[in-house]
Amino acid sequence: MKKLLVIFFVLFLTAGGFVFSGGQKEAAAEQITLTGLVRNYTVKQDPPWYSAVKTFKIKHPNVEIKLEGLPYNDQRLKVLIAVGAGKGPDIVQVDCIWLGEFASNNIIINISDMLNADPNLKNDYIDVFRKSAQWQGKDYGLWLYTDVRMLSWHKDLFKKAGLDPNAAPKTWAELRATAKKVNWPDQGIYGYAFPAFSTDHTADRWYPFLYMGGGSILSKDYTKAEFNSPAGTAALQLLVNLMDVDKVSPKDLLGIQEKDVSNGFKADKYSMMIKVGEFWKDYRKKGLTMKQYKEKIGVAPLPIPEGGKPATGSGGWIAGITRDSKYPKLAFEFLKTVVATRNMADFVIANGNIPTRKSMLKLENEYLASIPYFNVAKEVLPTTHFRPPIPEYMQISAQIVDAIQKALTEEMTPKASLDKAAVKVNEILAKRKW
């Protein structure tokens, strides 16, 4: 009997060993490819993607990761068309304003279970960011990086006007008064620039002024327009005053793309402008040191109205997993490697963005040493707002841009144009399917 048991045990071990070694061999041999559609500028440097690929491959040598970088307009279209055709990538980078469209149509999947399984990561996100990656209470992505709208100005042009180059206007009244002093239209230099072209940038740079007076774009449940409140009218009146009354913002802003407005600022054509801080990256490329940049460009929170409260707006990018992914858990594990504190901090420092997690903010000294406006960004970050992450946002934005342009071209008053746009937006929202 003993002999029989020993033979059985040996046979069991041999068979088990064979099975397990065979299984391991199969797992080791299985080559997996994860694909990703991400923004083009993020693949021009090691962090966040390629550095994460190197780390990930140490643990998963059988996984190959293929990333394709796309320009802004192509990113959304290519993802939607690829997933619509059932050939979507595993990982996609999603602008925070697309979240509702992607989530409500199951283009990206609900990752709540996977995120809940990692409380360290889940609780590490600053609350406002985690919530803005949620659709109807479920998590649909991991925030990568953000930005905030701030006031930038040319210190040398302030000096030229006899102003303190380090003192930014703090109120709307001060903004108008300062803009008049740093306005030399005959020399092609205007006091203040903001985007007014037919794109979302125009609405996006107007929203902070709306928030400052206590206004909001939509109601909290995203079902009703609220941007035509007195706060909205006052915010739009400010832009009309700057362009049509004070003439410190040229009319040609209506025909210039946002990037060209920024280029105009860099070419000293505008003394001040509302911007998201990308200037630093450009100036650094030109060889400017941080000290030189700080001597040249001032950055401050946006001026607020009398009795208003500080506010700003943010954009930014979220990483999601598409419904076509055959390996969602593996894709999530890779994304965790991407958003790992050190990896993402390296990207934020290289790119001049703003972190979205508590552990990343602890590296404050590193950001302060390498991002010239980080102290201001950190100050305004708690007052930031996001655009509504609903599928109809692009239609809503188009109506708001129309309203802003109608007021700026003096075709309608700010109140009338916003009221008209609100009616349209309510019609759009009445047809929502969520």
Partner 1 sequence: MKRKPLGGYLYITPLLIGVILFSVYPVIQVIWMSFHEISLADIRSETFIGFRNFKDIFAMEDPPFISVVWVTFAFVGGSVLFHVGAGLALALLLNLGWVKGKNFFRNLYMLPWITAGIMVGYTWSFLFEPRAGILNYLMSLVHLPSQSWTADPKLALPSIIIANIWRGVPYSLILETAGLQSINMELYDAAVVDGANPLQILTRITLPLVKEFILLNLILDTGLTFQVFDTIFAMTAGGPLHRTETFSIFMYYTAFKFGKIGMGSAISLLLLIFSLIIAVIYIKFFRPGKERYA
By C-beta, is 177 or 254 nearer to partner 1?
254
Contact with partner 1 (CB under 8 A) among 80, 128, 177, 290: 80
Contact with partner 1 (CB under 8 A) among 391, 400, 418, 422: 391
Q: Is residue 105 part of the contact set for partner 1 (CB under 8 A)? A: yes
Q: Is residue 110 part of the contact set for partner 1 (CB under 8 A)? A: no
Contacting partner 1 within 305-364 (CB under 8 A): none
Q: List Cα–Cα distances, 83 to 77, 80, 102, 330, 390, in angstroms.
A: 10, 5, 10, 19, 19
Residue owning tokens 């092609």: 188
Contact with partner 1 (CB under 8 A) among 44, 87, 251, 329: 251
Q: Is residue 426 part of the contact set for partner 1 (CB under 8 A)? A: no
Q: Is residue 255 part of the contact set for partner 1 (CB under 8 A)? A: yes
| Total residues at interface with partner 1 (CB under 8 A) | 36
Ordered DSSP codes for 165-218 = TT----BHHHHHHHHHHT-BGGGTBEEEE---SSSHHHHHHHHHHHHHTT--SB
Q: Is residue 77 part of the contact set for partner 1 (CB under 8 A)? A: yes
147 bridge partner residues: 315
Cβ 176 to partner 1 shortest distance, Å: 22
Hey, is 300 helix, strand or coil?
strand
| CB of 311 closer than 8 Å to CB of 274 | no
Helix boundaries (H) for 30-109? 51-59, 72-84, 99-104
Cβ 134 to partner 1 shortest distance, Å: 18
By C-beta, is 203 or 376 nearer to partner 1?
203
Q: Is residue 270 part of the contact set for partner 1 (CB under 8 A)? A: no
By C-beta, is 112 or 395 nearer to partner 1?
395
| CB of 225 closer than 8 Å to CB of 393 | no
Contacting partner 1 within 83-102 (CB under 8 A): 84-85, 101-102
Q: Is residue 260 part of the contact set for partner 1 (CB under 8 A)? A: yes
Quickly count: other Cβ atoms within 10 Å of residue 16's Cβ.
10
Cβ 252 to partner 1 shortest distance, Å: 4
Cα separation, 180 vs 201, whole angstroms = 24
Residue 97's closest CA among 146, 49, 138, 41?
146
The CA-CA-CA angle for residues 201, 206, 38, to 5°, reads 30
Contact with partner 1 (CB under 8 A) among 175, 203, 253, 429: 253
Q: Is residue 268 part of the contact set for partner 1 (CB under 8 A)? A: no
Contact with partner 1 (CB under 8 A) among 171, 216, 395, 413: 395
Q: Is residue 43 part of the contact set for partner 1 (CB under 8 A)? A: no
By C-beta, is 37 or 196 nearer to partner 1?
196
Cα separation, 406 vs 412, whole angstroms = 6
**Dihedral in degrees, nearest 10, Cα atoms 129, 346, 377, 204:** -60
Cα separation, 99 vs 387, whole angstroms = 11
Site string for partner 1, 190-229 (x = CB under 8 A): ------xxxx------------------------------
Interface residues with partner 1 (CB under 8 A)? 77, 80-81, 84-85, 101-102, 104-105, 107, 188, 196-199, 250-257, 260, 269, 391, 394-395, 398-399, 402, 405-406, 409, 411, 424
